[in-house]
Amino acid sequence: ACGLASLRGAEVVQVSDEEGNVWTGESELDKPLRGDVRKLELRLDPAQYHTDAKAMADGAGADVYQSFNVLLRRKPKENNFKAILEAIRELLTTPLATPPWLHDVLLGYGDPAAAAYWSLPADQRVTKHDFADTFLDLDHVRASFPGCDVRLAPDG
């Protein structure tokens, strides 16, 4: 049979060479890799692995993890899922960006109704917000809030 039989995604945790030098891309202790042989330590998708293991146990699937033969690497600019998660984490740790009552909702385990304006105690309701560098210019602000009366506060 020809063609792609299965496809699995993984995150590269670290790369090592034949001498055991490790490169993670995140540490000052990373050593330059030598030679032409590389060993990749991968973090597999646990949900997909569970599905595959169940299929193998039921006799409905082969062990695809013993037959990897192609590894594709996308450019970091195109493969930005991890970068998006890091940006959310950074937003959550920046006091200017998000109020504490919104953190649980952004993380996906809070009750969205609890973050509704009318559900908040009066002292936590937002009456004005500093958008910092969110918008390019006044036209961008107006385009982002169609049908709203956008007013600029006087300087000071």
Quote the crossing angle between the two packed helices 81-92 and 100-107, to the nearest 10°: 160
Q: What is the pLDDT of residue 123?
A: 80
Beta pairing partners, 39: 16
Q: Backbone phi, then psi, for 14, in 5-degree steps?
A: -160, 160
Inform me whether the pLDDT recorded for 126 exceeds 60.
Answer: yes
Which pair of structure tokens corresponds to residue 35?
């030679």
Report the pLDDT averaged over residues 114-130. 75
Q: For 15-73, how does the pLDDT look when each residue is reduced to its tens digit (9 = 90+)? A: 888 888 887 767 777 778 888 888 888 888 888 889 888 988 998 878 888 877 655 56
